Copies of this chain bind each other. A is one copy, B any other.
Amino acid sequence: MSVDSPSLDPSLRLSSRMAGLRSSAIRDLLTFTARPEVISLAGGLPAVELVPRERIARAAQRALGDPRSVQYGETSGWAPLRETVASRESDAVGRRLDSSEVVITHGSQQALSLLAQVLLDPGDTVVVEEPGYTGALQAFGAAQAALVPVALDADGMDTAVLEEALTEGLRPKVVHTVSNFHNPRGVVLSAQRREHLASLADRYGFWIIEDDPYGELWFDAPAPAPVAAHSDRVLRLSSGSKTLAPALRVGWLHGDRRVCEAVELIKQGTDLCGSSLTQRIATELLDDGAWLDTHLATVRGAYAARSGALIRALESAFGERLSHTEVFGGMFCWIEFTDGCDTTRLLERAIEHDVAFVPGGAFGVAKGHPHAARLCFATYDSAALVEGVDRLRRAYDAHLRTPWSATGH
């Protein structure tokens, strides 16, 4: 997006924070992938045909039988939904949570944004993962935090590296981690590192934001118990966007009651409240345990099959030229070209071949990840994924022939 300056009148300038905020070149490129003929492995979009529209429609009809479903709601969320989330999260973390420790947000992205405002002063240090979730980087960046990256490996954030930095004097206010089926790296934080991270929070005094929108999307076995099971310094975020429907815009956070109250105060001025209607729909679906179990089993099975199809196609098409993380759940596969292929350049060719992905650079904090890319396997069925990889291979061949674009991008 280009932000033109049609007026030179200084009185019509925008705030100084806008000067540092520009839509990225990669985002601009990806706007070209909205064409229907493009197979886009770029978006983090759930499989729309697996979203339970009929179930949502039934819940919507039931909700709309009650006049309160169309009225303003409480800023912290509809009380029964807070109770449902408290109950489900109690099971996950192994201790009884009260609904006053839960705030319903407009997706978990809003929870990130509100927490950044509640916890951070300009210049505060936030430890993020390298590569990191772009929405988190945006939210912490908007709060003018100083971002310190810690590398990920196959077991998630390397907490030994974090501990070394803490020993050397790093004093973060917040450590952010996508603990399950990382976006973009696909990895899972190991059980041992979860305990380690929690103990570091207690020892060095920082908040952990455990950002977990993908945890329910495991293939063969659930991920280890949440980081929040090991410390009360954890603010744990999740969402119905990947399990129920993005359009409900229902996410949540739970944790320290004082933080929840502060989030509520900030949320008042931000948007007053969420939708009473979509919160009721989400509540009905989350409370319908038998249906939900069946539904989640379907989604898990489909995503496992798609992940397998994508990886087999990648291995067949690229062989040793490409490595990928092992995928145990979630929506993303992270690949790295072993032959030095520049994925930002490759994207230009890929778009010409009607396939898209997100180059690793989009997730970089201190590093460029020039040979890496994130592929989403959730959106398309296996046949389309195979076709997408076929197009990617053809784009790759074209890139090898002409690695620099004629247009000078």
Which chain B residues border A167 with CB–CB below 8 Å?
A: none
With contacts A246-B70, A262-B3 taken as known, whether A16 is within 8 angstroms of B49 at the C-beta atoms is: no
Select from chain B the residue with minimum beta-carbon distance to A105. B271
Apart from A11-B205, A18-B262, A22-B265, 6 more pairs, CB < 8 Å = A6-B257, A15-B121, A48-B70, A60-B60, A117-B142, A135-B269
Residue of B nearest to A16 (CB): B121
Hey, which chain B residues are within 8 Å of A70, CB to CB? 48, 51, 53, 56, 245-248
Residues of A bordering B, CB below 8 Å? 1, 3-6, 9-12, 14-18, 21-23, 43, 45-46, 48-49, 51, 53-54, 56-57, 60-61, 64-65, 67-73, 106-107, 109-110, 113, 117-121, 124, 135, 138-139, 141-143, 171, 173, 204-207, 233, 241, 245-249, 256-259, 261-262, 264-266, 268-278
Cβ contact of A51, chosen from B46, B54, B71, B274, cutoff 8 A: B71
Which residue of B14, B57, B262 is within 8 Å of A262 (Cβ)? B14
What is the CA–CA distance of A252 and B206 in the complex, to the nearest angstrom? 38
Chain B residue with the shortest CB-CB distance to A112: B269
User: Cβ of A249 and Cβ of B268 under 8 Å apart?
Assistant: no
In contact, A14 and B259 (Cβ under 8 angstroms): yes
- Alpha-carbon gap, A271 to B109, bound state (A): 5
Chain B residues with Cβ below 8 Å from A264 are 1
List 9 tightest A-B contacts by C-beta distance, closest first.
A11-B205, A138-B269, A70-B245, A247-B276, A247-B277, A110-B271, A48-B67, A51-B70, A72-B246
Assess A138 versus B247: contact at CB under 8 Å? Given A14-B118, A48-B70, A67-B53.
Answer: no
Sampled A-B contacts (29; CB under 8 Å): A1-B265, A3-B262, A9-B205, A11-B173, A11-B205, A11-B206, A14-B262, A15-B117, A15-B118, A21-B262, A23-B265, A51-B67, A53-B65, A60-B64, A69-B247, A71-B247, A107-B271, A109-B270, A113-B270, A138-B268, A138-B269, A245-B277, A247-B277, A247-B278, A248-B275, A249-B273, A270-B270, A271-B271, A275-B278
Given contacts A14-B119, A15-B118, contact A113 B271 (CB under 8 A): yes
A113 surroundings in chain B (CB, below 8 A): 269-271
Which residue on B lies nearest to A111, using beta carbons?
Answer: B271
Complex-state Cα separation, A88 to B142, whole angstroms = 33
A139 proximity list for chain B (CB < 8 A): 269
Question: Are the C-beta atoms of B69 and A109 separated by less than 8 Å?
Answer: no
CB distance from A385 to the nearest CB of B (A): 18
Q: Which of B18, B61, B246, B257 contacts A57 (CB 8 A)?
A: B61
Q: In the complex, which residues of chain B have a beta carbon less than 8 angstroms from the beta carbon of A1?
A: 261, 264-265
Tell which of B10, B12, B67, B72 touches A207, judged by Cβ atoms closer than 8 Å: B12
> In the bound complex, how far is the Cα of B23 from the Cα of A265, in angstroms?
7
CB contacts (< 8 Å) of A9 on chain B: these are 205
Q: Which residues of B contact A274 (CB under 8 A)?
A: 249
In the assembled complex, the Cα of A5 lies from the Cα of B276 at a distance in Å of 31
**In the assembly, what is the distance between CA of A259 and CA of B1, in Å?**
12
Q: Which of B49, B143, B261 contacts A67 (CB 8 A)?
A: B49
